[in-house]
Structure 1
Amino acid sequence: MLFEILSSLVAGGIAATTYLKQQGVGNDKTKIERIAANAGLVSKDGKQIRIYRRTKGEGFTEYVFQIPLGLSFADFERKKHVFEDGLNIKRSTFDISLADLKSINLRGNPIPQIKSLLQNKRKQRKEIEMSFDGMLKIRVYEQPMPELLPFSDSMLSQCHGWEIPVGVSRSGFVKHDFDATPHMIVAGATRKGKSAFLKLLVASLISRHPDDVRFTILDLKGGLAFAKFKDARQVECVAKNAHEALEALRAIRDEMNRRLEHFLDAGIEDVRAAGVKERHFVIVDEAAQIASAGETDKEIKRLKVECEHILAEIARVAGALGYRLIFCTQYATADTLPRQVKQNADAKLCFRLQTEIASQVVLGEGETDAAHLPLIPGRAVYMTDRKEIVQCAYIEDDDIKRIVTPHINIRPRKENDYEKSHRKGTKTGGHTLIISET
């Protein structure tokens, strides 16, 4: 009797293993080797990657390979999307657990049960991470990252100082420290998560530092994205065009110069040494609207050139003075992302971009990850001194209203000089009272 049971288990196990291999389950090591060879990741003398170790972790399997001489980790990292797509080229990818296999009755023919199990399982896309410590490490995850990460107040409680929540990565909760890394570039195609992140940033800072944060917002898409914040007492202004943007930036430049002179006279190194609690965030969205390249109107071009110069000055010297530049663009080119801004913004948050060239413009030469992100709003590449894929937190309008409403001011709107000079049929010097409904 015992012999019959053991025989059935062995026969059933062999049948199950054979069938699962045919379906592409548990075959990733071989696939990785074949993908590397087919992608041309072979040394000149014909040597390929060689498996060194395979380790099962919690929710992933890690494959460690030896890279042949003549190839680098960068060669493999540039092909990450090829490996990820290759691991998913099959009829279906399924999440098969040990408990699932144990549920199969191996007495008789187990194949129909396995077929039923596979048919009932939800289709999954495998995701990978690559790293290098002398060996090529490829982690293949059993579960994808979440496609939606709702904002919660607990995220704010995990932040300290000038940190804000960003989202989650494979390694856990991700936050950004604006005192450690003052300036940030945020890029991404339309409806991929850029505007949602900016709302999260502003709401988080108002919630955590209501008395110490100020905002100058250049919302060059018409002002709609930041309409919920325009009457908050922390917001100095929301500029909607190049004329208003230049007026706001000139005011910041004058303020910066005064603060710089004071610091120099007092021998103060930066705002932390001076004990200054306030931080002034300058948010530019959409930067392409004030790019001078290609502008044919001479007057508008002059305004845009001056805007670019002031923004470059903020990026170069204003971090130590307490200013934080958030420079955002949908169209990542050398014209829309000035060199001085890129060189001095050590933090990048890059959502899906349309081309590998655009990804390299934002993230650096050879960095094409942003062009191969899945089509999931909020999925981004976050880069400081290291790079990781994150799912950014999404904040609902109700949460924004709850956070911002206590800080709404009923105040006269400051009319800029451009509006005054173009207003017709009214007397100068008046104010319009704005009462926000949000």
Structure 2
Amino acid sequence: MIIESIGASLLLLSAIRTTNMSDKKKIEKIFEYTKTWITTQGNEIKKPQFIRKEAITNENEESIGMLYVYRLPLGLPYKKLEYLNDNIGVFKDGLHKNVEIEFDGGMLHVNVYETDLPRKWNYEDEELEGWKVPIGKTYKELITHDFDATPHMVGGGTTRYGKTNLMKVMITSLIANHPEDVELFLIDLKAGVEFDRYKNLKQVKAVAKNVYETHQLLTEVMMILEGEKAFYRENGWSNIVESPLKKRRFVIIDEAGDLVPEKFMSKQEKDMHAECQWMLSHIARIGGAFGFRELFFSQYTTADVLPRQIKQNCDAKISFKLQNGYSSEVVLGEGNTQAAELEKIPGRAIFKDGASMYKLQVPKITDNQMEKLLQDYYESKRKDVTNEVGRKKNEDTDNLIEFRDHD
């Protein structure tokens, strides 16, 4: 299906770079070598068909590159489209330029840029429609994510490259745009050093700082979810986007790797860690239709840290710089090692939303800026996870068993 070997790939790219072919011809030559086509039953080969090209401009109407639009042959496997994005370096190396691929229905957009990404930009408080939040700037535009279109997101990244910063950007945007309709359940397994300062925001229902508090918080979320299921049945709704309800509940977890059961733990501790992972998986599988959104982030990404059921239900994926290709594949998908190849620039990330993928620069926000923007929503009474969502341990266990029996 793909270029047969690294040697063949290098030979191809070298041949393309040293020719006088136009960028259009180089793109089509790469289509040939990557076998981006289909063969009909009559052995006819159908390739992407060139439609048009047009200049790409930035916000100041300055030309920054060229867009090449191709119509994809009907029946082209989704895996081949994923491969193009997972191996975008083939285009970048072949054209010796920055390249970005987007899919629009049956169309393939190949954006070829003469410029580079911004190395840094500050968060801007702006009104976004619906349940969209800013994710980052590409070569040409601001990319947003719509949590009503894609309810859940997973993310990874080595420490100090912008993972927690992005979560703060999204929290700020959600509260600023939906102060009366958003509820936040924050899990900060870095001992609460990042999210505990926001416990007084009226939209924050609880902040969990360790596994015990996380278990209490998630159990309460599960109980709310069960109540919502009954409410939806009574009203004949199957999905929140088809209902008149405005409220959305976000479960946001930072450093999810601390929920993995370890060999040295007691059976009770292992069970609690496993139950937390199960509840997060349940929310990801069931909660989207009932207005629950899950943001699952971890520094150390392995298959144990990111349960398969969570990953399969999170079409939105973002990764900052990671140490190796395996970790990148865990977050972004098999065969995608781009997060390991990112420049060592804080805020630089790969964002994947379905088949479309972007390399972008995430906005920077400071704690002072965040607190200033949200100052109208602070309450004087300090919240504590144990009295906000805490329940007796035996009740937790009984409820958890009941949830599992009906899962």
TM tier, smaller: 0.7 to 0.9
The answer to whether the 8 A contact 2:132-2:144 is kept is yes
Unaligned runs of 5+ in 2: 37-79, 393-407
Equivalent residue in structure 2 for 1:170, among 139, 144, 151: 139
1:241 aligns with 2:210: yes
**1:189-242 residue CA offsets vs partner (Å, 9 max, x unmatched):** 101110110110111111111111111011001101113311101101110111
State the partner residue of 2:165.
196
3-state secondary structure, aligned to 1:150:
coil
Conserved? CA contact 1:43–1:68, under 8 Å: no
1:351 corresponding residue in structure 2: 320
Match of 2:301 in 1: 332
Matched, 1:289 2:252: no
How far apart are the structure 2 equivalents of 1:224 and 1:62? 53
Is 1:403 paired with 2:373?
A: yes
State the 1:270 CA deviation: 1.6
SS at match of 2:183: strand
2:20 and 2:263 map into 1 onto residues whose CA distance is 54
Alignment of 1:372-387 (within 5 A): 372-385=341-354, 386-387=356-357
> Are residues 1:41 and 2:9 paired?
yes
- The within-5 A match list for 1:416-431 is 416=386
Number of residue pairs the alignment of both structures matches: 338
Whole-angstrom distance in 2 between the partners of 1:68 and 1:143: 24
Residue 365 (structure 1) aligns with: 334
Q: Which moved more, 1:388-397 or 1:175-184?
A: 388-397
Corresponding residue number in structure 2 for 1:54: 22
> 1:236 aligns to what SS in structure 2?
strand
Q: 1:54 corresponds to which letter in structure 2?
A: S
Structure-2 separation of matches of 1:334 and 1:168: 29
User: Which secondary structure does the structure 2 equivalent of 1:146 belong to?
Assistant: coil
Alpha-carbon distance in 2 for matches of 1:37, 1:416: 56
SS in 2 for 1:249: helix
Query: TM-score, normalised to structure 1's length?
Result: 0.69
Decide whether the 8 Å contact of 2:27 with 2:91 is kept in 1. no
Where does the alignment leave 5 or more consecutive residues of structure 1 unmatched? 1-35, 56-60, 89-125, 422-438
Contact 1:381 1:388 in 2 (8 A): yes
Partner of 1:66: 29
Q: Is 1:390 aligned to residue 360 of structure 2?
A: yes
Q: CA RMSD in A?
A: 3.4
After superposition, where does 1:54-133 map in structure 2 within 5 Å? 54=22, 63-67=26-30, 71-72=34-35, 80-81=88-89, 127-129=98-100
2:233 counterpart of 1:270:
no
Decide which of 87, 105, 114 is 1:142's aligned counterpart: 114
Q: CA deviation at 1:368?
A: 1.0
TM-score for the superposition, normalised by structure 2: 0.74
Q: Deviations over 1:256-289 (max 9, x none)?
A: 0111022123221122333111111000111001
- What is the identity, as a one-letter code, of the residue corresponding to 1:335? D
Summarize deviations over 1:367-387 as a string: whole Å, max 9, x none.
Answer: 111111111111111111211
The one-character-per-residue Cα deviations of 1:145-188 (angstroms, maximum 9, x if unpaired) are 110011112xx23x201111112112411111011110000111
1:42 deviates by 8.0
Higher-Rg member (1/2): 1
Q: Which has the higher contact order (CA 8 A, sep 6+)?
A: 2
Contact 2:216 2:391 in 1 (8 A): no
Letter in 1 for 2:278: H
Q: Secondary structure at the match of 2:116?
A: coil
Report how far residue 144 of structure 1 moved: 1.7
